[in-house]
Amino acid sequence: MQCYNEAIAALNSLLSSETSVHWDVVLICCVIFITIENLNGRSAEAACHLRAGCGILKRFGLNDTRATTDLMSRGNTDGLLFTLQDMLYYFGQYLAMFIGVDAFADLDFDVPLLSMGDPESPFTSLKEAEMMFQNIDRAFNIRMWKSKAYSPRPATVTDIFAERTESLESQGPAMDRTTRSAAKMAARSDLAVWRQRFQPLTRQKSQDPRHITALALDYAVWSIIVNAQRMTEDFGVAECDGALRLAEEMISMDATSAHPRFNFDGNLVWMLWYICFGTRDAGIQSKCIRLLRAANRREGVWDSYDVATICETAVAALKNMLHVHLQGFSLESVQDIAAEAATRNGRT
C-alpha cells in the first residue's frame, strides 16, 4: 500500500499541468495496478484502478474518433494510448460480467466504432481481423444499451485513485427487448461480413495457428449469442460442441507450459462459463467444467479453477432443484449453495 501511495503521488505530479505529454505513463500505471490486483485476486481494488483509468481518459478528452490506420498503428504515442483505452474497455466488460451485471452504467468508455469494411476485401492481417472483431463487441453493447454514463470530472488523480464504492455491483442500464433484438440483428450482419473477410487468412500457412483458433472461437461463441432468440433459450448442442472443440484446441496449444497463464483481458474462461450456463445438456456442461480445470489460467478477474468449482457446484445444485443465486463469481456463493444442500440433505 505504501508503494501504491508513493506511485499515486508521483502520478499526481505528472498530471498537475494540462499537458498531455504523460498520458501514456499514467495509463500504463493503471494497467499495471489492475494486473497486480488481478494476480492477487483482489477484484474490488482492480475495479478502483479501472475507474481511475477511465476517469483520466475522460479528464483529458482522449475520445476522438480515429481511422482504421490510426488503430493499426502501434509505433507511436497515439497508437499506444488507444491500445490502453481498449484494454480498459475490455477489462471493464469482463469485470461487469464477472460480478453479474451486463454493463457498468457509471463507466463511460466512449470507444469509437468503425465500419466493418468491404466483405469482398480480405483482412490484411490477423491483427486487423482481431481489431474488427472487437469492433463488433463494442457496437453490440452500444446498440443494445444506448446509454451515456455520467461521472463528475475529478479534481486530481489522487481523488481518482482514492475513489471507493460500497459495492462492485453497479446497476446496469435497463434492458429494452426491442433494442436488444435490433442489436443482435446488426451483430449478425457484422459477423457475416467479418467471417467473409477472415476466411482467406485461415488458408494461409504463414499465419499463427493459435491466433486463428482464438478468433475462430470468438466467432463461434458470438454466433451462439446473437442467434439465440430468447434469453431463456438453450444453446444448440452442435454449436456449443463446435465452440468447445476450438477451446480444447487452444488449451492443448498452451499445455506445453507447466506454469499458470495470465492474460489481462482474455475471454476463454468467460466463454466456457457462458456456454456451461447457457445449456442444460449434461455432456456440454461436463466438458466445460473439464476444460476449465485443464485451462490453468487467470484472465483478468476470471480464474479458471475457481470458475470450474462454481460451475460444478451450481450445476449439481440445479440438478437437485436447489435455489441458485450466485452473487457474482465468489467462492462464498458456492459455500452458500453447499450449505443449502447440506441443510436439505439433513431434512431427508
Cβ contact 222:191 at 8 Å? yes
Q: How far apart are CA 173 and CA 184, in angstroms?
A: 17
Q: Give Dmax over CA atoms of the chain in angstroms.
A: 69
Residue pLDDT, tens place only, 54-102: 777 776 654 444 433 444 444 455 567 777 887 888 888 888 777 766 5
Q: How far apart are CA 334 and CA 284, in angstroms?
A: 21
Q: How far apart are CA 296 and CA 261, in angstroms?
A: 7
Residue 302 has what DSSP assignment? E
Q: What is the pTM of this model?
A: 0.76
Residue pLDDT, tens place only, 1-53: 566 667 666 666 666 555 555 667 778 888 888 888 888 888 888 888 888 78
pLDDT at 292: 95
Task: Give the pairing type, strands 297-299 and 261-263.
Answer: parallel
Q: What is the mean pLDDT of the chain?
A: 75
pLDDT at 261: 85
Residue pLDDT, tens place only, 113-147: 788 999 999 999 999 999 899 889 888 877 876 64
Cβ contact 50:108 at 8 Å? no
